[in-house]
Amino acid sequence: MKTITMTFTLCLSLGLLACQPQKPNAIAQQQNFICSALIDGFLKSQKLTHYQLWKVQPTLYSASSQRLYIYRAQSSNNMNLLPYQQKLHFACEQLSARQFQLKLSDPQQGNTVAQLSIELPEPLQLKTITAFSLPDQQKTQPKQD
């Protein structure tokens, strides 16, 4: 009976460990932030705001130099018109530590067209061009009388 109980406890423990949610990778989150911003900017500039993110491959649990973002057209109550393409496939690639490229791909045609490319400034340069900065903690402390 002890063997069955220990086996059951071990299986239950392993099962619960497997169900623990994974934390997204910090590098993957940074990549996703940049890629999502590029895609959103592209969609807004093309007046394609009815597309919403549907799937990201690979997931954000590991860093990857390239991710596929699939956006699906959302139906509108105001119009019964269907868009030309139900899904848009964006490949976002990190070419270097500071350079990203966004490509729009058509899986049926097998072609990919680069849409946007961005090179982020150096971290030190970014600090100097920021429009505002948070006050130092020393400056925000009230004066003691």
Model confidence pLDDT, tens digit, residues 96-123: 999 999 999 888 888 888 888 999 888 7
How many CA atoms does the CB half-sphere of 29 hold within 13 Å? 4
DSSP 1: -
Domain range holding 108?
A: 26-121
Whether 34 is in a domain gets the answer yes
Whether 42 is in a domain gets the answer yes
pTM of the predicted model over 0.75: no
Model confidence pLDDT, tens digit, residues 28-44: 999 999 999 999 999 99
Q: How many domains does the chain have?
A: 1
DSSP 145: -
Task: Give the per-residue pLDDT at 94.
Answer: 95
Task: Give the per-residue pLDDT at 137.
Answer: 45
Whether 99 is in a domain gets the answer yes
Whether 65 is in a domain gets the answer yes
Task: Give the per-residue pLDDT at 20.
Answer: 53
Amino acid letter at 118? I
CA distance 128 to 62: 31
Average pLDDT over residues 64-74: 94
Whether 5 is in a domain gets the answer no
Whether 137 is in a domain gets the answer no
Average pLDDT, the chain: 79
In angstroms, how far is the first alpha carbon of the chain from the final one?
A: 74
Whether 136 is in a domain gets the answer no
